[in-house]
Amino acid sequence: MSSRLTPERTDELYAAVLRLLTELGYDKLTMDRIAEETRSSKATLYRQWGSKEALVVAAFDAHAPEVPSVVETGSLRGDFLALYRVINEVDPDIALAGAVLHACQTHPTLAESLHDRVIASRVGVVDEVLRRAVARGEIDPDNPAIPFLVPTLVGPAMVRELIERKPADMTYLAAFLDAVILPALGITTTP
């Protein structure tokens, strides 16, 4: 992206794209509608992002919580709590998540782009946390729960408000970690 748009204007544009995506769905979201809503020219949008898909991916990437590339507290529990703190800083937008999930089911290239630009690096951080826990001897590398950890870590933060009408605050996330995730990994004591 060139420097024609200020960071503030880019943030406004991304917010509008995500709002429209939530309201309309990916199929009905058009560059014309984005241009109209953001008082931008369609030519500028195409020049900056090239396609609706690229613009949506960039907007979602800007909205997603920034996960540190290294999370290392010395224990698996501490590392997971550090990741939860990052997740907990962003209010989950269930409607947006639903719109993105639906779009990914019907548009494989969008799903691939989101995975490559947004998801893979964040999953890589969790994978590294697990590799270090294995190296420290905290968990067995063959534990059958390991492949299910990423959705299990993210799920409570995303859906507790929807299911229980309560926020997934750090108290809840720590209790979930201690009651579900750590025991599934064979860790029965907590600090």
Measure the CA–CA gap between 88 and 77, rounded to whole angstroms. Answer: 16
Structure tokens at 102: 């639906």
Structure tokens at 18: 């995500």
**What confidence category does residue 155 fall into, taking pLDDT thresholds of 50, 70 and 90?**
confident
Predicted local confidence at residue 1, as pLDDT = 43
Provide the whole-model pTM. 0.78
25 and 112 both lie in a single domain: no
Residues 100 and 153: beta-carbon distance below 8 Å: no
**What confidence category does residue 191 fall into, taking pLDDT thresholds of 50, 70 and 90?**
low
132 and 170 both lie in a single domain: yes
- Domain assignment of residue 55, given as a range: 7-61
Domain count, the chain: 2
Predicted local confidence at residue 2, as pLDDT = 46
Q: What is the CATH number of the domain that holds 12?
A: 1.10.10.60
3-class secondary-structure state, position 96:
helix
105 and 154 both lie in a single domain: yes
Measure the CA–CA gap between 171 and 166, rounded to whole angstroms. Answer: 12
70 and 56 both lie in a single domain: no
Q: Is residue 175 part of a domain?
A: yes
- Residue 38 CA, chain-centre distance (Å), reads 24
11 and 100 both lie in a single domain: no
Q: Which residue in 128, 116, 131 sits closest to 54, CA to CA?
A: 116
27 and 93 both lie in a single domain: no
Q: Which residue in 48, 122, 138, 50 sits closest to 90, CA to CA?
A: 122
Q: Is residue 99 part of a domain?
A: yes
14 and 34 both lie in a single domain: yes
Least confident of 11-15, 35-39, 92-96, 125-129: 92-96
Element holding 47 (H helix, E strand):
helix 42-49
